[in-house]
Amino acid sequence: MARIGVFICQCGKNIESTVDTKKVADEMAELPGVVYSCNYRFMCSAPGQEDVKKAIKKHKLDGVVVAACSPHMHEKTFRRACEAAGVNPYKCEMANIREQCSWVHHDTTKKAGTAKSIDITRMTIERLKKNKPLKKISIPVNKRALVIGGGIAGIQAALDIAEGGREVILVEREPSIGGNMARLSETFPTMDCSQCILTPKMVEAELHDNIKLYTWSEVEKVDGYIGNFTVQIRKKARYVDEELCTGCGDCLVKCPFKAPSEFEMGLATRKVIYTPFPQAVPNIPVIDAARCPKIQKGKCGICEKVCGPGAIDYEQTDQIVTEEVGAIVVATGYQVMPTARFGEYGAGKIKDVITGLHFERLASSAGPTGGEIRRPSDDKVPDSVVFIQCSGSRDEAKGVAYCSKICCMYTAKHTMLYKHKVPDGQAYVFYMDIRAGGKRYEEFTRRAIEKEGAMYLRGRVSRVYERDGKVIVQGADTLSGDQIEIEAEMVVLASAVVSRTGADQLAQKLGISYDRYKFFNEYHPKLKPVETVTGGIFLAGTCMGPMDIPDAVSMGSAVAGKVLGLFSAEEMAREPITASVNTMICNACWDCVVACPYTAIEKEEVRNKKGEIVRVNAKVNDGLCQGCGVCVAACRSKAIDLAGYTDEQVYAAISVF
Amino acid sequence: MEKAVKETDEKLAEEKQPGAAAWEPKIMAFVCNWCTYAGADLAGTSRMEYRPNVRIVKLPCTGRIDPLFIIKAFENGADGVLVSGCHPGDCHYTAGNYHARRRWIGFKSLMEFVGLDMRRLHFSWVSASEAIKWVDLINSITDDIKKLGPFMEYRGLK
Amino acid sequence: MKLTYYPGCTLNTVAKQFDASAKKSALELGFEMDELSEWNCCGASFPLTPDNIMGLSAPTKVLAQARKAGDTVMTLCSVCYNVLKRTNKVIRDDTDRRDVVCGFIEEDYDGSIDVLHFLEVLRDRVGFEKVKEAVKRPLEGLKAGAYYGCMLLRPFEDMGIDNCEDPTIFEDLLKALGCEPVGFPNKIECCGSHLALGKDNEEIVTKLSGNVMQSAAGSGAELIVTSCPLCQYNLDGAQEKLEASMPGYRPVPIVYFTQILGLSLGQSETELGLDTSRWDARPLLKEKGI
State the total domains in chain A. 4
Residue type for position C194: H
All structural domains of chain B, each given as residue ranges with its CATH number in brackets, are 24-49+56-132+139-149 (3.40.50)
Which of A462, A467, A470 should we substitute to test contact with C (largest number of C Cβ atoms within 10 Å)?
Answer: A467
Q: Could you tell me which of A100, A73, A128, A78 has the C-alpha nearest to residue A15?
A: A100
Residue type for position A23: K
The residue out of A71, A103, A129 marking a domain boundary is A129
What is the pLDDT confidence band of residue A202, given thresholds at 50, 70 and 90?
Answer: very high
For C111-238, list the strands marked E by DSSP.
114-117, 143-146, 180-182, 223-226
Q: Are residues A339 and A487 in the same domain?
A: yes
Residue C116 has pLDDT above 50, yes or no: yes
Across chain C, what does the average pLDDT equal?
Answer: 90
A106, A116, A650 member nearest B69 (Cβ): A650
A72, A647, A650 member nearest B41 (Cβ): A72
Q: Are residues A547 and A600 in the same domain?
A: no
Across chain A, what does the average pLDDT equal?
Answer: 94
CA distance A152 to A555: 10
Q: Per the CB < 8 Å rule, is A72 touching B38?
A: yes
Q: Per the CB < 8 Å rule, is A105 touching B49?
A: yes
Distances (CA, A) of C227 to A146, A337, B7, C74, C153: 60, 33, 61, 13, 11
Domain C2-118 - what CATH class?
A: mainly alpha
Distances (CA, A) of A330 to A158, A168, A219, A498, C38: 11, 13, 11, 16, 65
Q: Which residues pair with C289 in a beta bridge?
A: none
Q: Are residues A329 and A339 in the same domain?
A: no
Q: Are residues A488 and A358 in the same domain?
A: yes
Q: Are residues A285 and A420 in the same domain?
A: no
CA distance C23 to C15: 13
The residue out of A83, A105, A129 marking a domain boundary is A129
Considering the domain boundaries, does residue A514 fall inside one?
no
Considering the domain boundaries, does residue A460 fall inside one?
yes
C48 vs B21, residue with greater confidence: C48
Residue A596 has pLDDT above 70, yes or no: yes
- Mean pLDDT value of segment A102-124: 95
Touching, A vs B (3+ Cβ pairs under 8 A): yes
Residue of B nearest to A70 (CA): B41
Q: Are residues A62 and A161 in the same domain?
A: no
A343, A397, A472 member nearest C163 (Cβ): A343
Give the pTM: 0.75
Q: Which numeric CATH code is attached to C128-287?
A: 3.40.50.11810
Q: Are residues A118 and A191 in the same domain?
A: no
Question: What residues does each domain of chain C span?
Answer: 2-118, 128-287
How far B7 CA sits from the closest chain A CA (Å)?
28
- Mean pLDDT value of segment A478-489: 94
Q: Contact partners of A by the rule of 3+ C-beta pairs under 8 A? A: B, C
A272: domain range?
A: 144-333+534-566
Q: Are residues A389 and A464 in the same domain?
A: yes
Q: Are residues A301 and A374 in the same domain?
A: no
Q: Is A470 in the C-facing interface, judged by CB distances under 8 Å?
A: no
Instruction: Please enumerate in sequence order all residues whose Cβ is within 8 A of that of B1, keeping only pairs 6 or more positions apart, or say none.
Output: none
Q: Is B89 in the A-facing interface, judged by CB distances under 8 Å?
A: no
- Number of cross-chain residue pairs from A and B with Cβ atoms under 8 Å apart: 122
Instruction: Please enumerate in sequence order all residues whose Cβ is within 8 A of that of A38, keeping only pairs 6 or more positions apart, or say none.
Output: A6, A7, A8, A25, A51, A55
What is the pLDDT confidence band of residue A515, given thresholds at 50, 70 and 90?
Answer: confident
Q: Is-contact A333 A541, C-beta < 8 A? A: yes
Q: Are residues A342 and A327 in the same domain?
A: no
CATH number at residue A637: 3.30.70.20
Chain B residue numbers touching A99 (CB-CB < 8 A): 40-45
Residue A375 has pLDDT above 80, yes or no: yes
Q: Per the CB < 8 Å rule, is A467 touching C218?
A: yes
Residue of C nearest to A464 (CA): C185
How far B50 CA sits from the closest chain A CA (Å)?
6
Considering the domain boundaries, does residue A522 fall inside one?
no
Supply the Cα-derived Rg of chain B in whole angstroms: 16
pLDDT value, residue A599: 84
CATH number at residue A349: 3.50.50.60
Q: Per the CB < 8 Å rule, is A628 touching B69?
A: no
Which of B46, B58, B70, B129 should we substitute to test contact with A (largest number of A Cβ atoms within 10 Å)?
Answer: B58
pLDDT value, residue B1: 42
Q: Could you tell me which of A134, A139, A88, A76 has the C-alpha nearest to residue A573?
A: A139
The residue out of A77, A99, A129 marking a domain boundary is A129
What is the pLDDT confidence band of residue B10, given thresholds at 50, 70 and 90?
Answer: low
CATH number at residue A65: 3.40.50
Q: Per the CB < 8 Å rule, is A630 touching B61?
A: yes
pLDDT value, residue C247: 84
Q: What is the ipTM of this complex?
A: 0.87
Q: Is B52 in the A-facing interface, judged by CB distances under 8 Å?
A: yes
Cα Dmax for chain B: 48
* pLDDT tens digits, C2-14: 999 999 999 988 8
* pLDDT tens digits, C128-179: 999 999 999 999 999 999 999 989 998 888 998 999 888 999 999 999 999 9
Instruction: Give C201-220 as a DSSP string.
Output: -HHHHHHHHHHHHHHHHHTT
A105, A628, A647 member nearest B63 (Cβ): A628
Q: Are residues A173 and A319 in the same domain?
A: yes
Residue C196 has pLDDT above 80, yes or no: no
Chain C residue numbers touching A465 (CB-CB < 8 A): 185
pLDDT value, residue C192: 85
Chain A residue numbers touching B77 (CB-CB < 8 A): 657
